[in-house]
Structure 1
Amino acid sequence: MEKPIKSNPFALIPFLIFILLFIGAGVVLGDFYQMPVLVAVFAAIFTALLMNRKASFQEKIGHLTKGGGHPDIILMVVIFLLAGAFASVAEGVGAVDSTVNLGLSLLPENLLMVGLFIICCFISISMGTSVGTIVALAPIGLGVAEQTDISLALTMGAIVSGAMFGDNLSVISDTTIASVRTQGTEMKDKFKANFFIVLPAAIITAVIFGVMTAGATSSIDEDTSFQIAKVLPYLGVLAFAVAGVNVIFVLIGGILFAGIVGLILGDISFMDFIQLVGEGFTGMQELAMLAILLGGLVELIRRNGGIAWLLEVFSGKINSARGGEAGIAGLVSAVNLSTANNTISIITAGPLAKQISERFGIDPKRSASMLDIFASAVQGLIPYGAQILAVAGVASLSPVEIMPYCIYPMLLVFCGLLAILFRFPKFTTRNSH
């Protein structure tokens, strides 16, 4: 059994180095491409390896590899690679162009972003994964931006926004499952409590995207021709997602389906298909390496006492139910900022949040909602989180350029804080602190 880890605020220094190098260099130099993200994370890892004299260097290397090899991290890597392959094959056979043209022919330009946001909400709540939703729909968002005068960063922000809506609410999302399990409540109760808090954020987000793209025009001629057969791979992915099929099967099925369509229509040969799959894998290699290295960095920070210190700080000065909810929100947000993984942050902060909720009579479904809402909101805003990194990779943009357009996560924070302030929606608590 692992020994209790002593809290240590200095353990967070490597993480601060990563942030300063990754974001600070971009601010100072005026170019966020000057500092390669892998160089920044390696500098942070090297700093973490030099800390904690009580552990040998070999032990610290073991912690690094254990964190990088965490099942959640490796699953994320597999999803990234498959998603890259699906996007590559879909583009290679013309599925992206046909899908975008279908959208352009059905929706006026000023409603494209609203439609894209709503579709992402629907898919993510059906699929249960924000990353899976993002990597499946980001190529379509890229195509929309290329064929209209809508900003590419805005398009990617709409996709991240919709993806985080479902990540926070889906009954098959790992974040939702983690929050419900750690708080000892029922899934349906948590969903109901959560839904009424986040619905206003989703509605206002749709309105904002509609206003921001009200004067949008198409930059192409009248040629919005499409082949419905080439749209089928995306429709297949969406159908399987709605049916609750595992995201791995969804993406593998999408790759094969897109390849078969391309082969039947004569757009690609079998070797072209293999090459496209390989190119998709290659395009996601940096993102996959980043996920593994960040996982290792987080484990080093945890072993050195950084996460334990965060847990102490956010549980210290609480003296009311409202303060307890604010403490839970702050705790899971801080842990998420440090781990860049909303599921891990909920699992980490969950037991302490349970203690806080029991002490101050906070209903379990409400504490579960606070955990999930603030973890998802922070995850959808941090430029080093998997969601923004994924869309940035597809769009060849800096993650920092996309952040201002992640409207829904911003409003999610605001609605969450209002829910704490006004104790909305009302629930009967176990005692009346």
Structure 2
Amino acid sequence: MKKDINAGWALLPFAIMIIAMLITVVVLEQSPHVPLIIGTVVASIVAKIHGFKWTEIEEMMYKGIRLALPAIVIIILVGLTIGAWIGGGVVATMIFYGLKLISPAWFLVTIMLLCAVVALAIGSSWSTMATIGVAGMGIGLSMGIPAAMIAGAVISGAYFGDKMSPLSDTTNLAAGLTGTNLFEHIKHMLYTTIPALVISVIAFGIMGRSFADISMKSENILTTLKVMEESFVISPWLLLVPVGVIVLVAKKVPAIPALIVGIISGFLLQIFVQGGTPAMAVHALQEGFVISTGNEMVDELFNRGGLDSMMNTVSMTIVAMTFGGVLEYSGMLKALMNVVVKFAKSTGSLIAATIAACFTTNATCSEQYISIVVPSRMFANVYQERGLHSKNLSRALEDGGTLTSVFVPWNTCGVFILATLGVGAMEYAPYAILNFTVPIISIIYGYIGFAIVKLTPEEIEAAEKHKKEQEMDEANMVMAD
């Protein structure tokens, strides 16, 4: 017979996973895969002790993995895109003209705002980081700017655009799960996100001043430009490929066919423009582009991409989602969330609890979608009972779920960024300014009561009526069974 899992038991697999993660990643400097598997095993044992059958536990794992399948497909396509675009000279062209046009002093601000605009247009932080972000890393590194700073600027911009775009899946998810009008949700997020963007611009502007003395005619940059011109055909016409992909997604073409168009374009460019053989172009898709110029920086910039480069990310996603699936569907996560809700007495503490729950879900289930789904279920009634409009909840879900996912090294977002930009979460975390500033602003608003919308008496009455209708429907279904 199944028994409810209390918070003490629910905390056990999470605690053991975190201890194993610290030992494995920090002390042994190994991959997070094994600690997540250990957490999954412990969670499965806890579920088994509480009456779940092994077949049910297996199904929980499969459900978790199924949630991640769309992300896995995108990860694979991004690996192919990077290989194809490097082989086709697209990335080299973006880096070449970026070095020619962008001042080192303003580079961090420029790349952040560029990523913000692109992500806003296409609704995807991952696609933005895999295209504009990869080029930005190359440009910044060539200027001598630390990789962690560049990654922080790219992430801040990409997640601003993703969060505020009506095309974003997480934005639509947060609005849909809370029953909030999409554009009301986006408008309400302006209160926390715009101040954070301004803070980020100022911070990156100050950081950029330390690079103002870098000459664009320095030997390092001139050598990089020369080697790229010798190794690739550089042409502004090649920029039509990334522009075309951005336009397709902006026109609401789904991300998968849009990326496939970009992959095919890069593949053909490598053969017909760069002079590569079909075998070389296929190799770039599978194992990544390979070049040996004798220049260490250029070789490091362009020896990357391909399907194989994303397999570590794919396996991490699968392992993380098996752990998250057992926690979610066995009720362990719900048990932990119930404890959090009990301590949320004021509006400020409720919003802080929501954001904390989102971050905890990001850390335990390793997937930003679950960090929105689970807390939305847990807190919806609490917000309504306290007379708070649903858009307060939808904003808190994005402030705490979408944005904090990048700070967890084993979260799918943290793993993706490492694979794409080549920088780990612990390195770029201090520079992902927008991502940690927004949750702080959101919590402050909760405590001071600014930009907190209350339900009108009519809305409260309508909500109560809707709740009663749902309860009657559920009762009728039980009687019918």
Distance in 2 (alpha carbons) for counterparts of 1:6 and 1:185: 32
**Structure 1 residue ranges without an equivalent (≥5):** none
Query: What displacement does 1:134 show?
Result: 2.2
Q: Deviations over 1:71-110 (max 9, x none)?
A: xx01111100100010011112222121012112121012
Contact 1:161 1:408 in 2 (8 A): yes
The one-letter code sitting in structure 2 at the alignment partner of 1:309 is A
RMSD: 2.5
Matched, 1:400 2:408: no
**In the alignment, which residue of structure 1 is the partner of 2:132?**
137
The one-letter code sitting in structure 2 at the alignment partner of 1:97 is A
Contact 2:362 2:411 in 1 (8 A): no
Identity %: 21
Query: What displacement does 1:368 show?
Result: 1.4
The one-letter code sitting in structure 1 at the alignment partner of 2:321 is G
**CA 1:402–1:16: 2 relative to 1, 3 Å:** farther
Q: How does 1:406-425 map to 2 (within 5 A)?
A: 406-425=432-451
Query: What displacement does 1:37 show?
Result: 2.3
Matched, 1:299 2:299: no
1:285 to 308, 311, 317: 311
Distance in 1 (alpha carbons) for counterparts of 2:246 and 2:347: 41
**CA 1:250–1:35: 2 relative to 1, 3 Å:** same
**In the alignment, which residue of structure 1 is the partner of 2:414?**
388
**CA 1:304–1:351: 2 relative to 1, 3 Å:** closer
Contact 2:446 2:452 in 1 (8 A): no
1:66 to 63, 66, 71: 63
Q: Deviations over 1:399-423 (max 9, x none)?
A: 3222222111111122112221222
Q: How does 1:156-195 map to 2 (within 5 A)?
A: 156-195=151-190
**In the alignment, which residue of structure 2 is the partner of 1:207?**
202
Deviates more, 1:405-414 or 1:392-401: 392-401
Contact 1:197 1:424 in 2 (8 A): no
Q: How does 1:150-161 map to 2 (within 5 A)?
A: 150-161=145-156
Indicate the SS of the match to 2:409: coil
Deviates more, 1:47-56 or 1:286-295: 47-56
Query: What displacement does 1:347 show?
Result: 1.6
Contact 2:170 2:369 in 1 (8 A): yes
**In the alignment, which residue of structure 2 is the partner of 1:99?**
94
**In the alignment, which residue of structure 2 is the partner of 1:17?**
16
Query: What displacement does 1:25 show?
Result: 3.9
**CA 1:364–1:65: 2 relative to 1, 3 Å:** closer
2:46 to 46, 51, 55: 51
Indicate the SS of the match to 1:220: helix
**CA 1:165–1:148: 2 relative to 1, 3 Å:** same
**In the alignment, which residue of structure 2 is the partner of 1:148?**
143
**CA 1:40–1:299: 2 relative to 1, 3 Å:** same
**In the alignment, which residue of structure 1 is the partner of 2:473?**
none
Contact 1:8 1:304 in 2 (8 A): no
The normalised TM-score by structure 2 is 0.82
1:348 to 374, 389, 401: 374
**In the alignment, which residue of structure 2 is the partner of 1:272?**
280
Contact 1:314 1:327 in 2 (8 A): yes
**In the alignment, which residue of structure 2 is the partner of 1:259?**
267
The one-letter code sitting in structure 1 at the alignment partner of 2:26 is V
Distance in 1 (alpha carbons) for counterparts of 2:133 and 2:108: 13
**Structure 2 residue ranges without an equivalent (≥5):** 288-305, 461-481
Indicate the SS of the match to 1:245: coil
**CA 1:262–1:171: 2 relative to 1, 3 Å:** same
**In the alignment, which residue of structure 2 is the partner of 1:128?**
123
**In the alignment, which residue of structure 2 is the partner of 1:113?**
108
Distance in 2 (alpha carbons) for counterparts of 1:195 and 1:154: 25
**In the alignment, which residue of structure 2 is the partner of 1:313?**
339
1:197 to 173, 192, 198: 192
Query: What displacement does 1:389 show?
Result: 1.5
Q: Deviations over 1:164-199 (max 9, x none)?
A: 212322212222222212222211111111112210
The one-letter code sitting in structure 2 at the alignment partner of 1:21 is A
The one-letter code sitting in structure 2 at the alignment partner of 1:220 is I
Indicate the SS of the match to 2:407: coil
Question: Which structure would you say has the larger RCO, counting Cα contacts within 8 Å and 6 or more residues apart?
Answer: 1
Runs of 4+, deviation exceeding 4 Å: none
Matched, 1:239 2:253: no
Contact 2:355 2:439 in 1 (8 A): no
Deviates more, 1:232-241 or 1:150-159: 232-241
Contact 1:383 1:400 in 2 (8 A): yes
Q: Deviations over 1:196-235 (max 9, x none)?
A: 2210101111221222122323531173764212322222
Query: What displacement does 1:394 show?
Result: 2.8
**Structure (1 or 2) with the larger CA radius of gyration:** 2
The normalised TM-score by structure 1 is 0.90
Contact 2:313 2:415 in 1 (8 A): yes
**CA 1:319–1:65: 2 relative to 1, 3 Å:** closer
Aligned residue pairs, count: 425
**CA 1:401–1:232: 2 relative to 1, 3 Å:** same
Distance in 1 (alpha carbons) for counterparts of 2:358 and 2:63: 23
Distance in 1 (alpha carbons) for counterparts of 2:196 and 2:327: 34
